[in-house]
Amino acid sequence: MRFAPYLRLLRRNPDFARFYVAQLVSFAGDWFATVALLGLVLETTGSGGAAAAIIVLQEAPFFLVSPLAGVLADRFDRRRLMIGADLARVVICLAFLLARDASSLPIAFVAVALLSAVSAVFEPASSAALPNLVDRDDLPLANALGGSAWGTMLAVGAALGGAVTVALGRDAAFLADAASFAVSAALLYGIRRPFAEARSGTGHHLPGLGPGGIARATREVIELARASRLVAAFLLAKTTFSIGAGAIVLLAVFGSDVYGAGDAGIGLLFAARGVGALIGPFLARALVGDDDRGLLRGIAAAFAVFIVGYGLLPLAPSIWLAAGLVMLAHLGGGAQWTLSTLGLQRAAPDRIRGRVLSLDFALLTLTMTVSTLASGALVETVGPTGAIWVLMAAGLVASGAWFAWTRALRSGRADEPALDG
C-alpha cells in the first residue's frame, strides 16, 4: 500500500482535507462520549441490559429518521444541513452533563436517541456530498480515507476517551464530544466547493417532507434499484454483511469472560477491530480495481474474510491470536463498507444520491439491530461460541445468496441502463 497518493489528495484539495479532518474530529468525540456514557450507565445501574439499551438507542432512531433524512439531503443545501446537524449535536451533548445518578439517567438515554436522530440526517448528506468535493478520478482515494476515519478513531479515540475520563472525569469527555462537533461545523463552514450539483429549474420535482413525500421518495429509490441491478447489488451489500455482524457485541464477552482478561481484554479486541477497519479500506483500494466489477468482487472477498475471521475466533487459544482474527475480520468489514459506498456514490445520480445512501444506512441499522438482539438471545442459550457460529452460518447463507445473485454483474454479462444525472 502506498500512502503518497492520499497525502497528495489532501494537499491539493483543501476542501476535502477540511471535510476529512471534520470526520476525524467528530468520530474522536463520539468515542470520548461513548466510553464515559457506558461507564456512567454501568456504575449507576449495575445492569448490562441498561448498557445494551444505549446501543439500541444509537441504532433505532437512525433507522426511523433515515427516510426523512434522505429527502432532506436531496432537497436542501447539504453543507448547511450538515453544519446545522453539528450545531444541534453540540447542544445535545451538553445534556449529558445533567445525568448524574439513577434519577437523572433518563436524560442521558433521551440525549443518545436525539444524537442518533440528528446523525441520521448528517451521515447521508455527508456521503452524498463527497463525490462533489473531489474530482471523479479521486473519489476512490477519498472514499478509502473516509472509510478509514471511523476505524482510526475506534483504535485511537476510544483509548484516549478512556484516558481522559480517568484523568479528568466524565464531564470532560462529554465536553470534548460537544467541542468536536463545534470544530466539525467550523471546518465544514470553510469549504467552498458545492456539496451538490447545480439544479436546473424544477425538472426533478423533489418530493415533499410530509408522509406522502417521504413515501414517494422511498418508492423512487426502490424503482431505481429495480431498474439497475448494479445499484441494488451495492445497496444490499452492507445489509448482507450486517446479518452476521451481531457477533461484534460478543467481543466484550470473549475479552472479559472467555479469555478472563477483564476490561483490558475488551479494550484489546475492540482496538483490533479498529485497526482492521482502519487498514481495510486502504487494502481494498490497493487490491481491487476501480471499475464496478472489481468493486463487486472485492465485496464478495470481504464477506469471506469477515466470516472466516469470526468463525475461527472461538478456536483461538490466546487473546492475542483472537485479536489477530478480529483484526482480520474487520479488514473485510472495513473493505466492504468502503467499496459498497463508493459503488453507490458513483452509480446513483446526484439528484437522488442522498435518498439512496439514506436507505443504505436504514437497511444497515435495521439488520444490525436484529442481528445484535439475536446475538444477545443466542449467547444466553448456546453460549458465546455457539452464538458466533450461528451468526456466521447465517452470514454465510446471506453472502452466498448475494454472491449468486451478482454473478452476471461480476462477469460483465448483465446489461445496465444508463442512469440520468
Question: In the chain, which residues fall in CATH 1.20.1250.20?
Answer: 1-195, 215-407
- Grid look-up 458513483 returns 346
Q: At residue 98, does pLDDT exceed 80? A: yes
Please name the fold of domain 215-407.
Growth Hormone; Chain: A; (1.20.1250)
Q: At residue 410, does pLDDT exceed 80? A: yes
* Per-residue pLDDT, 20: 94
> How far lies 6's CA from each of 19, 308, 400, 407, in Å?
14, 30, 34, 32
Angle value at C-alpha 401, between 398 and 403, nearest 5 degrees? 110
**pTM listed for this prediction:** 0.82
Contact status, residue 288 vs residue 140, Cβ threshold 8 Å: no
Please name the fold of domain 1-195.
Growth Hormone; Chain: A; (1.20.1250)
Which runs of E-coded beta strand occur in 241-390? none
Percentage, residues of the chain above pLDDT 70? 91
Residue 61: which of 15, 112, 122 has the closest Cα? Answer: 112
The top-scoring range by mean pLDDT among 49-63, 74-88, 255-269, 368-382 is 74-88
Residues 389-410: what's their mean pLDDT?
95
Please write the tens of the pLDDT for every residue from 157-196.
Answer: 767 777 777 788 889 889 999 999 999 999 999 999 999 8
